[in-house]
Structure 1
Amino acid sequence: MCPHEPPCPPADAADREAARTIAAHPEQGWSLLCNGVVLFEDTGELLPNGTIIAPHRPTDLAVNAA
């Protein structure tokens, strides 16, 4: 359980990336969040239940849609 006040969002919440970082390894490109989510520098995620969230960088969107 999260010891922070207010508590961090759970791993299944839409705002799960807002949880506090409890272990950072920038040299390896990942961080562990308080809710058990492993967040990768490419914005991909690994949830505690094994679900993979594909990278979702804002730069993946088309700049000029016209």
Structure 2
Amino acid sequence: MCPHEPSCPSSAASDREAARTVAAHPEQGWSLLCNGIVLFEDTGELLPDGAVIAPHRPTDLAISAA
């Protein structure tokens, strides 16, 4: 149960990534959110029920010649 006020979004909510970070391991490339989601630096997610969300946001910017 989330102790924050207001409560963090649940792992089933569309804004689930807005939950607070409770453990960060940037050297390993992941963080644990308050709602039980493991969020990876490539934007992939591991949900508490074991479901996997593939990376879904661009992490690199395209370099364009001007």
Q: TM-score, normalised by structure 1?
A: 0.87
User: Which one-letter code corresponds to 1:40 in the other structure?
Assistant: F
How far 1:57 moved relative to its partner? 1.3
Contact 2:46 2:52 in 1 (8 A): yes
How far 1:58 moved relative to its partner? 3.3
Distance in 1, matches of 2:27 and 2:7, equals 28
Structure having the higher helix fraction is: 1
- In structure 1, stretches of 5+ residues that fail to align are 61-66
Deviation above 4 Å: which 4+ runs of structure 1? none
Percent identity for Structure 1 against Structure 2: 83
Q: TM-score, normalised by structure 2?
A: 0.87
Per the alignment, residue 20 of structure 2 pairs with 20
Tell me whether 1:5 sits opposite 2:5 in the alignment.
yes
Pairing of 1:38-53 with structure 2 (within 5 A):
38-53=38-53
CA RMSD of aligned residues (A): 1.3
- In structure 2, stretches of 5+ residues that fail to align are 61-66
